[in-house]
Amino acid sequence: MKQIKIFDTTLRDGEQSPGCSMNLAEKIKVAKRLESLKVDVIEAGFAISSKGDFESVNTIAKEVKDCTVASLARATVGDIDAAYEAVKCAVDPRIHLFIATSPLHMEYKLKMTPEQVLEKTAAMVKYAANYCSNVEFSCEDATRSDYDFMCKVVDAAIKNGATVINLPDTVGYSSPAEIKAMFEYVIGHVENSDKVEFSTHCHNDLGMAVANALASVQGGALQVECTINGIGERAGNASLEEVVMALKTRRDYYGADTRIDTTRIARASKTVYKIIGQSAPLNKPIVGKNAFAHESGIHQHGVLANKLTYEILTPESVGITENKMVLGKHSGKHAFEARLKELGYELTPEELLSAFEQFKALCDKKKTVNDLDIEALVSHDAIDTEGYSLVRFDVHAGNHTTATSTIKLAHGDEVIEDVALGDGPVDAACNAIDKIVCPPEHTFDVYTINSVSEGKDTMGEVMVKLKANDKTYTGRGLSTDILEASILAYLNAINKLNAANK
Ligand code: KIV
Ligand code: ZN
């Protein structure tokens, strides 16, 4: 059985895609999930790209103990210096440098000749290897490169100290048979290719990222680069959960497996979706709500007779638990804590206390509190930011009145109140918040509302995305009152916007 390494780039390739930006606390939370998932490598960011990115790569490098931590770098001295500076405190630091090798990228983007790219590769890999014994080198746009030229570049990278060679399908152009053949060709034509690990990194522009990643494994790749929920540039990257479960489910075919603790997949997926303000499409493989639902009579009949008729993997194997309605008004803190543990949540005593208080408050408003409600409370609480908090709100609205909202917010020791009109109650409330906070200029990009579980008394979860200077700030609000959820979500996003622009 081949052991395939999982290189997670949710925090780099995923985070750099539109609408997926995360703040430091959120990135650390994701890194912790990735560590407990047992990914082999966390690409924590692109250290040179901003002060914030440097800080987050550096913090993750310090905090994560059980994974290699990598920073991306272009093939330049400045990028490599910053990458090493950011990851050097990691238990196992890696510098990941890249340069494009396709004719199109070399001529129009880099404005370099193939010879210059070859020289640059040799010099920069050598420079990085002086810092660090773990150097990954990527031929950007490998699948559209001339394979013989790419072999020369890979050869130069290996001779100068690269330990991992990545051949990405940067624009999602390849097909499974083609990418498998590319790996076989390069591995077969480069001297010492057996001394390094080959890696694949597939984008999903034609919907083939996962298939291409798996075909690369058949072609000899020993590392797969992927992201939670498949987030990433444009149509995204190969999704970690799909690659991992395909390898596990079809071990007989691929003869390969990973060290991932698959029972933690559902939680990692939810965490990332919540942070970026999205939810899984219903039919998303592995983590979508319908992934294990059997609606049709024929399927139900088959599953009842023998699960294997229509179920090739179990919900339990990816950490999806049955939605048991076990807790209510009279449940004590121990029962609450025990249920959280069963759901995979380990909270600090302070977090537990706060979650329990919210749970009790929810029991007063809602007849039954189920796992979905509990998970929503816990994950919500954990990502709240500092800043302004809601003291009270009043809204007057109707189909023949102009909506008015009075909002009272606390900020440190100060309590401030203001009133505003708006085009509906949510708009009026947001206008009143703007009058109090005077946030940096932004546009209101996305507003979504979802019910957490079933029933008229369910909690509403609102996601708000604000855009400022090409960055997205995602806020979430949770309440059985959807106006309150909307106000909390807007405030959460405004707090993040303020914090980032201090
Ligand atoms: O898609 C790509 O080619 C990349 C590289 C930087 C590895 O993300
Ligand atoms: Zn990429």
Shortest-distance Cα residue to atom 2 of ligand 1: 170
140 lines ligand 1 (CB under 6 A): yes
Q: Please, what are the averages of pLDDT over each run of 10 residues along the chain (502 residues)?
A: 97 92 94 97 97 97 98 98 98 98 98 98 98 98 98 98 98 98 98 97 98 98 98 96 98 98 95 92 94 76 80 92 71 86 83 89 84 83 71 96 97 96 97 97 95 88 93 92 96 94 85
CB of 168 closer than 6 A to ligand 1?
yes
Q: Within a 10 A sphere around the Cβ of 296, how many other Cβ atoms?
A: 9
Whether the CA torsion 97, 67, 246, 26 is positive or negative: it is negative
pLDDT of residue 111: 98
For residue 356 and ligand 1, the question of a CB distance below 6 A is answered with no
Please list, in sequence order, all residues whose beta carbon lies within 8 angstroms of the beta carbon of residue 134, skipping any fewer than 6 positions away.
68, 92, 93, 94, 95, 163, 164
Query: Which amino acid does the sequence have at 368?
Result: T
**Cα separations in angstroms, 9 against 220, 227, 293:** 21, 5, 30
Query: Ligand 1 centroid vs 454 CA: distance in angstroms?
Result: 41
Starting from the CA of residue 97, give the closest ligand.
1
Distance (Å) from CA 248 to ligand 2 centroid: 24
Q: Residue 43 Cα, ligand 1 centroid: separation in angstroms?
A: 12
Find all residues with CB under 8 Å of 107, minimum gap 6, and list them. Answer: none
Determine the 3-state secondary structure of 272 from DSSP: helix
Neighbours of 383 (CB within 10 A): 19
201 lines ligand 1 (CB under 6 A): yes
Question: From ligand 1's centre to the CA of 95, what distance in Å?
Answer: 14
Q: Which string of DSSP letters, residue by residue, matches 145-188?
A: S-HHHHHHHHHHHHHTT-SEEEEEETTS---HHHHHHHHHHHHH
Tens digits of residue pLDDT in 1-40: 999 999 999 999 999 888 898 999 999 999 999 999 999 9
Q: What is the pLDDT of residue 327?
A: 78
Query: Domains along the chain?
Result: 2-276 (3.20.20.70), 290-320 (no CATH), 333-381 (no CATH), 389-500 (3.30.160.270)
Q: What is the pLDDT of residue 144?
A: 98
Which atom of ligand 1 lies at the shortest distance from residue 166's CA?
7
Model pLDDT for residues 315-368, shown as the tens digit of each residue: 999 998 776 656 778 888 888 888 888 887 888 888 889 889 988 988 888 877
